[in-house]
Every structure is written in C-alpha cells, then in structure tokens.
Amino acid sequence: MALIEARSLGKSFGTHRAVEDLSFTVHPGSVTGFLGPNGSGKSTTMRLMLGLDRGQGSTTFDGLTFAELDHPMRHVGALLEAKPFHPTRKARNHLRMLAAPNGIADRRVDEVIEMVGLTGVAGGRPGSFSLGMGQRLGIAAALLGDPHTLILDEPSNGLDPQGITWLRNLLKFLASQGRSVFVSSHLLQEMGLLADELVVIGRGRMLANGPVQDFVSHSGLASVSVRSPDLSVLGPALEAIGATVTADGDAVVVRGATAEQIGDAAHAAGARVHQLTTRQATLEEAFLAATGLDEEFRGTRAGGRP
C-alpha cells in the first residue's frame, strides 16, 4: 500500500503562478479529498503528481516517482479528465489498449467493465456515451491494474445520484482495503461524506491540510444558540469571555465560545438558560470561509455586485 508524498509542487503558465510550493501526504487506507475553487490548480497539481505537466517539485509513491514505476497502472490508477478516449474505439478495446503495456490480462478488463456497470455497452463506441457513462469508463481504466493508489479528478462529474452513491461506496471500500485514494470534487456535501482527510488549496497555495473534522471545527464557524430570559445579564457576561453575541429572534447566537464555556458564564452571572444548542459548521461553510478570498473566478450577482 502506497504512501503518496507530494513535495514542493509548483507550476507556472507564463507569468501566472498556477501552483505554488504545495506539499502534502496521502496516507494508505484513507480517502483524501482535494478541494479548491475553479482555477485554483487542482487538476494541474494532479497532472504534476503524475509527471504529465512539467513543473517543480516531486511526488513519490512509496518512494518512487510515477515515471519510475514498472507497469504504472498496477500501482497508480488515474482519472484526469472526462471522456479521455477515442470516440470510435469500442469501450472494451479502449481498456485492452491501456492494459496491454501494463501486462494486464483481458479477463481483468471484463472484470472492471462489470464493476463499473458498463457490461451492456462494452462493445459500444464511447462517442455515443453520456458524460456519466464516460466517467464510468474512465474509472474502469483507473481500476484496471487493481492499483494501490487512485488519483481521481472530479470522478463524480456527470454521474446520477445512484452513480454518486455507488462511487462513494466503491472509494470507501477501496480505502478500507488499505489503498490510498486522492480525489477532487466540487460536490462538497459528497466530499463531506466521502473524505477522511482534506487538502484545500486556493490560487495554487495550500490553505488547509488535515482531517475533515479538524478543518470544519477550526473554521471558527461553529456557534451556539442560547435561549435565556436573562439575556441582558448573559450577553455582557459572554462578551466578557471574548464571545461574539448576535441577536436571533428571542435567542442569541454565540460564536467564539463552547456550550460548556457559555454554561459556566451563565452560572457565574446568575443568568437562567432555557436552551443551549450547538451548531457545527458544514464542510461547505468551512470551505467557503477558507477560500473566500482565494477564488480565481468570481461571478456577479444581478445588479453587478459580487
């Protein structure tokens, strides 16, 4: 099982610095989500890891670069773009072609076709495939060599809800077998269900790296809703311990203090508390907070305001 170690990855397109000094580790037995806004350098980073783009830094898989791997598809499976195949080459032949230089038997080709649910169209020409079917073929190619490492760029693109659930279960199962799974996605809710660890980048730079729970809890967006008949006493007491108090109907929303700290402060101030509800931030909120200033492409709302 492979440890992926990316060290000081960097890449420029002309004067634009697309990836800047990225270093991270993907551990075996885990799914590591790769998050970042559009244009933040996720796909470029993945291509750099596999030596497809020329840039700075290095990535090793159990100490070897991708180019040094013998029969690389048996070690690292990759899906880097939608529909990476010739439209008139039959799906099964596409996989046979990739299998041939990696010493992978045709029997395995049929296995992965069945695994991704394309058996019925294995003899079809993928030019007529939907985006979702194309993604399944790409995933089949990544799984072809039964690799210990998977690098998948937006694999859920084009998949229907059933397909997304299937993919989530598949990747979790593969990780549970001790494989390293590194996957990018724009579906934050899905990533919240899938990933154990996160690498979050913005404008090509590292913003966060670590367990999903740490990323969410350290976002500073967790809050506690407090209902109390003594808000006039409790409010100043909470502000005194450094919390931020915001009115929310007949309650207040408190940030910067845990439920325990609020309970202690209320007790000390002699304020009665009728309700104390902790609300964790979502991955989406944490992500938006982390990348808010690092969005490469920003749209405008009606009226022209960003």
- Positions touching other proteins (CB under 8 A) are 47, 50-54, 66-67, 69, 71-73, 76, 78, 80-81, 83-90, 93-94, 96-98, 100-103, 141
Residue whose C-alpha is closest to residue 185's, from 176, 177, 174, 193:
193
Q: How far is the CB of 72 from other proteins (least distance, A)?
A: 6
Q: How far is the CB of 20 from other proteins (least distance, A)?
A: 17
Nearer to other proteins, 81 or 239 (CB): 81
Phi, psi of 4 (to 5 degrees): -95, 125
Q: How far is the CB of 35 from other proteins (least distance, A)?
A: 22
Nearer to other proteins, 76 or 245 (CB): 76
H or E element that contains 200: strand 197-202
Nearer to other proteins, 80 or 206 (CB): 80
Q: How far is the CB of 246 from other proteins (least distance, A)?
A: 49
Phi, psi of 205 (to 5 degrees): -110, 150
Q: 153-182: buried (b, 16+ CB within 10 Å) or exposed (e) per residue?
A: bbbbbbbeeebbebbbebbeebbeeebbbb
Nearer to other proteins, 6 or 290 (CB): 6
Q: How far is the CB of 99 from other proteins (least distance, A)?
A: 8
Q: How far apart are CA 11 and CA 47, in angstroms?
A: 10
Structure tokens at 20: 């800047």
Amino acid identity of residue 175, one-letter, is A
Phi, psi of 136 (to 5 degrees): -65, -40
Nearer to other proteins, 22 or 200 (CB): 22
